[in-house]
Amino acid sequence: MAGTMGGNVVRWAVVLGLAFAVALGLAVLVLQQPEGAAGRVGSSGLPADLAGGVTARQALPQAAEVARAWQPDAGLAVVLAHWRPRQGRWSANVAWTFQFYSPATHRLAVVAVEEGGARLLRETPIPYPLPTFAEADWQVDSPAALGVWWEAGGATFMTRHTETDLVAQLRIEEGGEEGRLVWAITGIAGDQVWAVVVDGTSGEQVQD
């Protein structure tokens, strides 16, 4: 039994690691960000760079339409965005990437939504099934999740590290409660990292 569980852990790590790498790499390639407005603060307490722009939920319908045209059984597996710093600023015009998994074909599709609309960036075979989630289970939009990160030490981290890459990823949690949907918000400045996990349904911070 232990050997089987260990094998499952390794397989999930490989699959989810591949999925994350594909989306993050493609997001970096397609993201063309003009300079944002540093110093401005939105009503939520977030910088306007993060509080403004198209949210993940707002971008979903366009991505879902492309995914359904790709495969009718496509299920949403991962949502991801990457804000890159430029002179201490982010841009509100972030590109959202959505990963959809087709159980019938065992393939993964990556769809990007940016100002020009939605497009299928890539599809690739996946050796193991990816967990998907229903839109109804996704109750917490990206600004709310980013706000939790900001209040839970992200603001302090940004004060110390003005050139911070910020990655937001929505997915089914690995190794936690079965089927729990979470936002993983990670600030990266060189070798310094500030990561916060937020429940995608309740909006509460997930403690270790």
Give residue 42's pLDDT.
39
Query: Do the Cβ atoms of 82 and 14 come closer than 8 Å?
Result: no
> pTM for the complete prediction?
0.78
Q: How many CA atoms lie within 13 A of 96 on its CB side?
A: 25
Percent of the chain whose pLDDT exceeds 90: 60
d(CA 101, CA 77): 6
Q: How does pLDDT run across 55-65, given as a tens digit for each residue? A: 999 999 999 99
60: CB partners within 8 A, 6+ apart = 76, 79, 98, 135
Q: Which of 126, 120, 81, 136 is nearest to 104 (CA)?
A: 126
Give residue 177's pLDDT.
59
Query: Do the Cβ atoms of 164 and 151 come closer than 8 Å?
Result: no
How distant, in Å, are the alpha carbons of 19, 81, 86, 134, 139 from that of 49?
26, 13, 12, 28, 22
How is residue 128 written in tokens?
Answer: 């193991």
d(CA 119, CA 99): 12
Q: How does pLDDT run across 87-127, given as a tens digit for each residue? A: 656 666 789 999 999 999 999 999 999 987 999 999 999 99
Q: How confident is the model at residue 176 (pLDDT cuts 50, 70, 90)?
A: low
